[in-house]
Amino acid sequence: MPLIDATSAWLTGVVTTTDLIVTLPRHIGETLAKMGDLKVFDCPVRIPAFTVKQHWHARYHQDRGNRWLRGVIATLFMQRAVRGILSLPSANR
């Protein structure tokens, strides 16, 4: 996962060397906390749900590599969404 490694190195570097904080999904925060000397806290305000969308130029709509990548990304987000729904307490469904 080179992209995640590069992003996590940059983000943990900024957070550990400044007085800045970051708000991001819990699973990402927990992963970064394991990689650096970071702590994860609950967000003090409710973050509304959002829709993840993919956009691409029309010229790449039929491109095999682009179609493959869009499919991988869609699958990953759908798996996350299903796991999130299944892990919600029954009172929140």
- What is the 8-class DSSP label of residue 56? -
Residues 23 and 60 in one domain: no
- Looking at the structure of the chain, the number of domains it has is 2
Same domain, 57 and 89: yes
Extract the residue ranges of the chain whose pLDDT is less than 70. 1-7, 80-93
| Tens-place pLDDT, residues 26-51 | 878 888 888 777 889 998 888 888 77
41 and 53: one domain?
A: no
- Same-domain check for residues 35 and 71: no
User: Dihedral of CA 20/46/85/79: which sign?
Assistant: negative
Distance CA 13, CA 31 (A): 14
Instruction: Report how far residue 53's alpha carbon sits from residue 77's, in angstroms, rounded to the nearest whole number.
Output: 10
Q: Residue 1: what pLDDT?
A: 44
- Residue-level pLDDT at 82: 64
The per-residue pLDDT for 63 is 96
Residue 62 domain boundaries: 49-93
